[in-house]
A = this chain, B = another copy of it.
Amino acid sequence: MPEFLHLIPPVEALDRLFKNLPDRIPPAELIDTVDCLERISASPVIAPHDLPEFSRSSVDGYAVRATSTHGASDSQPAYLNLAEETPMGSRPEVSLLPTQASLIHTGGMLPEGADSVVMLEYTQETAGSEIEVFRPVMVGENVILRGEDLSVGQIIIPPGTRIRPAEIGGLMALGIIECRVAIKPRVGIISTGDEVVPPRVSPALGQVRDVNSHTLAALVEQSGGEPVLLGIVPDSLEKLKEVAAASLVDCDMLVITAGSSASVRDLTVDAIHSLGRPGVLVHGVNVRPGKPTILAVCDDKPVIGLPGNPVSALVIAGLIVVPLIQRLSGAPRRTYTPSVRARLGGNIPSQAGREDWVAVRLVRKGEVVSAEPIFGKSNLIFSLAAADGLVRIAPDATGLEAGETVEVFLI
């Protein structure tokens, strides 16, 4: 297996995969905006009208013409005649004279003739039908102008945008109650191995329950994909080829995790080779855990072979499968990842020349957050369940020292 000799880091492996994927517009569906949370927009959304549609007060106060307040001060207030109060929720019928002021609430529509609002705290009602104004305002002060949020025809949400609460609010403000979003990519998941049984089965000695199908399904769901569980395939090349080929027709992407034996690993790469062109692009990634990862494109669809050990599979899926789901949804590649900065609570040795991902537990100690490394064999799923996140050790480092500041990527 000559590919195995030229191991590349995960990011380069992903680059190679991306370059071999077609630039396709993902298929879309029209759904209610209230159901769009975390979905990816599929078409540009255009503002159907200005927002706001009328000039509004941004404070509680008096709508005035700015010139009438010029020179006003505590000792020399401007006196204005009280006009009718500005109504909430309807168009003010009054048209303001230059010498008049109209009580207005936050969000109220500015009456004709007014060009600014003086805040309530800088005014005082007199005994008569007048108010005193103690500060001058400028034209437009304390007013949100018509179209100030956005103008009719503006692109408000470009395609490829992840819909968050703010986007939902913006769409609702414009009365856009349905939205075109990318259909969630269907990610087929196959677990392989003669020794693997479904979780509801009580395993005989020598057998283990299928963990990977379920950790990966959860990760796919969390990342905006639709997991399609294809079950457990025994260590048979013919059977694996058959299930994989049939599944690829129906899915947008395929993930195969080895049972855990080396022979199965070989079966996986052979099975993937049979699925279509160009086939296997990367076999073996310069990372720990997760070295025996396979990245392939078969007839324009990504196919990923993950290690059988559950920790490796989950770590690598985070690095490879999650960005692929985003790509298949039409979202741009993320150029930053949030992290928690913490002080490393113990030394972590690492072999130079290889990227390492080490599980840590976060513990707050007064003002600092400490990242306590969790050592343990990478096969132990509960070492990951006990962790809050992962620390990356760059290939050129020979480890990290206790006390160093590290970035922890939450899992």
Contact = CB atoms under 8 A, between A and B. Distances in A.
Interface of A: 33-34, 37-38, 51-54, 56, 58, 60, 87-92, 105-109, 120, 144, 148-150, 156-157, 164-170, 172-177, 193-196, 199-212, 214-219, 221-222, 235, 259-264, 308-310, 314, 335-342, 362, 364, 369, 377, 379-385, 387, 409-411
A216 to B, nearest CB: 7
A260 B106 contact: yes
Given A107-B260, A314-B166, A369-B336, A34 B217 contact: yes
A195 B108 contact: yes
A157 B166 CA distance: 34
A157 B385 CA distance: 8
Given A173-B209, A377-B144, A377-B148, A193 B310 contact: no
B88 A218 contact: no
A379 B53 CA distance: 14
Contact of A167 (B87, B172, B385): B385
Nearest to A150: B382
B166 A385 contact: yes
B175 A206 contact: no
A310 B149 CA distance: 12
A66 to B, nearest CB: 18
Leading 7 A-B pairs by shortest Cβ distance: A105-B261, A107-B260, A89-B195, A169-B215, A60-B262, A338-B338, A165-B218
Contacts of A144: 377, 379-380
A91 B204 contact: yes
A168 B338 contact: no
A177 B387 CA distance: 22
Given A107-B308, A385-B157, A385-B170, A261 B60 contact: yes
A211 B262 contact: no
A156 B177 CA distance: 44
17 contacts: A37-B222, A51-B381, A53-B205, A58-B309, A60-B261, A88-B193, A89-B195, A91-B206, A106-B260, A107-B193, A107-B260, A107-B308, A165-B216, A167-B385, A169-B314, A170-B381, A341-B341
